[in-house]
């Protein structure tokens, strides 16, 4: 693979010409390293193929990290330690205790505080030379381009498909490279996307690999499927490494290659993929997002791409790799549902109803709201325990497993009285009874 020239990244600086509406693009000249920086980065400077030039390129770089969670935590720490000149952190969430087994940026005493702000403080304490900008809000399709425009490269550590597609489409429109990673249980994947190539073209992007998001509820997220805490530590650190490679022209980034990792087997595979020749592109060769992208999809789709099948343009490298496919929804009819306050009103009213909890027994021990426990794997063989003469509310942790099993029960057994609890027991804890533990 040809070495990528960091000058091809197309970074944009904000100056007088930009303020006047000009689309001028330029790169700041290296300003050199001061004595303190030379001491701090001495082990980088001693690398024959990196040295002072690579370090100065990092000092001039602007890296935006989307999500300061399991993937973002190690990525941010290593980017700051490496001496990236300016780092942006986009995350509107707050620190929660059940995430601390993998979100290593935070301390237990910081639970409840904003992630972006605390992450920024931690990075500044680690390396005072780095400028850090906290953006305590969620990225979505409406603000993605505005948030990304001023940065050289984006690391996507988000945990849901709407954000991933919003990041990808904004990077494609703006000509920005980005590094994607996702995790699920014991497996994860990583790749470099939309990187400027020596011939002026761009490498494949996320939609070349995954043209469309999976159907809502068909791919579990970390809260439902779980994740071994060290996994995002490995993949997030690797994301930082890919960003450094792209920014400095070091080695061979994972361009057109999807890295697949399985911690249980200790195996790492790569899957090669290419640009989809059938995708519509503009005069500059930039791909256009599909016409059916919608706010409805954004509002309902989440999960880990580690369990999602790449497009047919992807092909396995000689060592081989298999990715499990996602299943389509049972049918497309609207699903009856109710939110947590509506369930409380139902319970308080005295109206006959049944509440079924389809989580696992270990989850029930952590938190429960009085539902009848029928683990997901046992629901179909327990059909006779589900009433047909009243409203039946089915819940899980976040609402996805319950939605899936409701579809199956309706299709297979003809139930017409099932309601999904939107947001699951987590929504009940947040909106009705905060004494119910969040996990």
Beta strands 178-184 and 187-193 are antiparallel
Rounded average pLDDT over 110-122: 95
**How wide is the angle at C-alpha 392 spanned by C-alphas 331 and 421, nearest 5°?**
70
Q: Which helix (H) or strand (E) holds 153?
A: strand 153-156
- Between 188 and 28, name the one with better pLDDT: 188
Q: What is the C-alpha separation between 75 and 92, in angstroms, rounded?
A: 18
Domains of the chain (ranges, CATH numbers): 6-30+61-316 (3.40.50.720), 337-431 (3.40.250.10)
Of 330, 343, 354, 329, whose CA–CA distance to 422 is shortest?
343
| Mean pLDDT taken over the chain | 83
User: Residue 327: which pLDDT band, with cuts at 50, 70 and 90?
Assistant: very low
Rounded average pLDDT over 106-111: 94
Rounded average pLDDT over 423-430: 94
Q: What is the C-alpha separation between 58 and 423, in angstroms, rounded?
A: 42
**How wide is the angle at C-alpha 260 spanned by C-alphas 228 and 166, nearest 5°?**
85
**In a 3-state reduction of DSSP, which class is residue 127?**
coil
Q: What is the C-alpha separation between 87 and 76, in angstroms, rounded?
A: 8
% of the chain surpassing 90 pLDDT: 66
Give burial (CB, 10 Å; 0-12/13-18/19+) of 435.
exposed
Residue 426 corresponds to which tokens in the numbers above? 């987590």
Q: Look-up: residue for tokens 């953006």? A: 135
Q: What is the C-alpha separation between 175 and 154, in angstroms, rounded?
A: 11
Q: Is the pLDDT of residue 338 over 50?
A: yes
Q: Look-up: residue for tokens 């935006």? A: 64
Q: What is the pLDDT of residue 278?
A: 74
Residue 222 known to be catalytic: yes
Give burial (CB, 10 Å; 0-12/13-18/19+) of 347.
middle
Q: How many alpha carbons lie under 13 Å from residue 317 in its C-beta half-sphere? A: 13
Query: Residue 394: which residues within 8 A CB-CB, separation 6 or more?
Result: 356, 358, 402, 405, 406, 418, 419, 420, 421
Q: What is the pLDDT of residue 24?
A: 26
Beta strands 62-66 and 153-156 are parallel
Q: Look-up: residue for tokens 């993998």? A: 102
User: Residue 216: which pLDDT band, with cuts at 50, 70 and 90?
Assistant: low
- Tell me the CA distances in angstroms from 143 to 52, 138, 149, 166, 330, one per residue in order: 36, 9, 10, 9, 33
- Tell me the CA distances in angstroms from 71 to 77, 229, 423, one per residue in order: 11, 10, 23
Q: What is the C-alpha separation between 191 and 189, in angstroms, rounded?
A: 7
Q: What is the C-alpha separation between 122 and 119, in angstroms, rounded?
A: 5
Catalytic one of 171, 222, 301, 390: 222
What's the order of all strands across the beta sheet hosting 353-357?
337-338, 418-421, 391-395, 353-357, 372-373
Q: What is the DSSP string of 318-357?
A: TT----PPPPPPS--SPPPEE-HHHHHHHHHHT--EEEEE
Q: What is the pLDDT of residue 218?
A: 53
What is the C-alpha end-to-end distance of the chain, expressed in Å? 45
If you compute the radius of gyration of the chain from its CA atoms, what whole number of angstroms results? 23
Contact of 402 with 421, CB cutoff 8 Å? yes
Catalytic one of 171, 301, 390, 396: 396
Residue 430 corresponds to which tokens in the numbers above? 């947040």
Rounded average pLDDT over 9-36: 44
Please state whether the predicted TM-score (pTM) of the whole model is above 0.75. no
Q: What is the C-alpha separation between 307 and 188, in angstroms, rounded?
A: 9
Residue 390 known to be catalytic: no
User: Residue 85: which pLDDT band, with cuts at 50, 70 and 90?
Assistant: very high
């Amino acid at each position: 693979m040809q070495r990528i020239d960091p000058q091809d990244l197309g970074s944009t600086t904000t100056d007088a010409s930009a303020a006047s509406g000009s689309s001028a693009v330029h790169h700041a000249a290296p300003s050199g390293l001061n004595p303190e920086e030379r001491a701090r980065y001495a082990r980088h400077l001693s690398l024959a193929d990196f040295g002072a030039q690579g370090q100065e390129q990092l000092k001039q770089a602007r890296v935006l990290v989307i999500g300061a969670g399991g993937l973002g935590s190690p990525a941010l720490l290593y980017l700051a330690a490496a001496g990236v000149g300016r780092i942006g952190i986009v995350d509107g969430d707050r620190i929660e205790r059940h995430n601390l087994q993998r979100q290593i940026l935070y301390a237990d005493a910081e639970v409840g505080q904003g992630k972006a702000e605390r992450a920024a403080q931690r990075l500044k304490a680690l390396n005072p030379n780095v400028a850090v900008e906290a953006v305590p809000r969620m990225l979505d399709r409406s603000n993605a381009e505005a948030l990304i425009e001023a940065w050289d490269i984006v690391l996507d550590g988000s945990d849901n498909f709407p954000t991933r597609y919003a990041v990808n489409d904004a990077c494609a429109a703006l000509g920005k490279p980005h590094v994607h990673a996702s995790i699920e249980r014991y497996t994860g994947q990583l790749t470099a996307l939309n990187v400027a190539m020596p011939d002026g073209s761009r490498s494949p992007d996320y939609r070349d690999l995954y043209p469309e998001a999976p159907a809502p509820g068909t791919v579990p997220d970390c809260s439902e499927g779980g994740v071994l805490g060290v996994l995002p530590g490995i993949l997030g650190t690797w994301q930082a490494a890919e960003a450094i490679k792209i920014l400095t022209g070091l080695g061979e980034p994972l361009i057109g290659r999807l890295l697949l990792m399985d911690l249980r087997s200790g195996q790492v595979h790569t899957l090669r993929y290419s640009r989809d020749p059938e995708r519509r592109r503009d005069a500059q060769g930039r791909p256009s997002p599909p016409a059916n992208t919608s706010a409805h999809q954004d509002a309902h789709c989440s999960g880990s791409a580690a369990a999602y099948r790449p497009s047919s343009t992807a092909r396995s490298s000689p060592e081989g790799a298999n990715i499990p496919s996602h299943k389509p929804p049972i049918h497309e009819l609207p699903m009856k549902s109710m939110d947590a306050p509506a369930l409380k009103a139902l319970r308080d009213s005295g109206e006959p109803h049944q509440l079924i909890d389809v989580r696992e027994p270990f989850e029930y021990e952590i938190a429960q709201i009085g539902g009848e426990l029928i683990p997901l794997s046992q629901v179909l063989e327990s059909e006779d325990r589900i009433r047909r003469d009243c409203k039946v509310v089915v819940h899980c942790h976040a609402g996805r497993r319950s939605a899936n099993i409701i579809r199956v029960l309706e299709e297979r057994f003809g139930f017409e009285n099932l309601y999904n609890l939107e947001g699951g027991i987590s929504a009940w804890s947040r909106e009705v009874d905060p004494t119910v533990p969040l996990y």
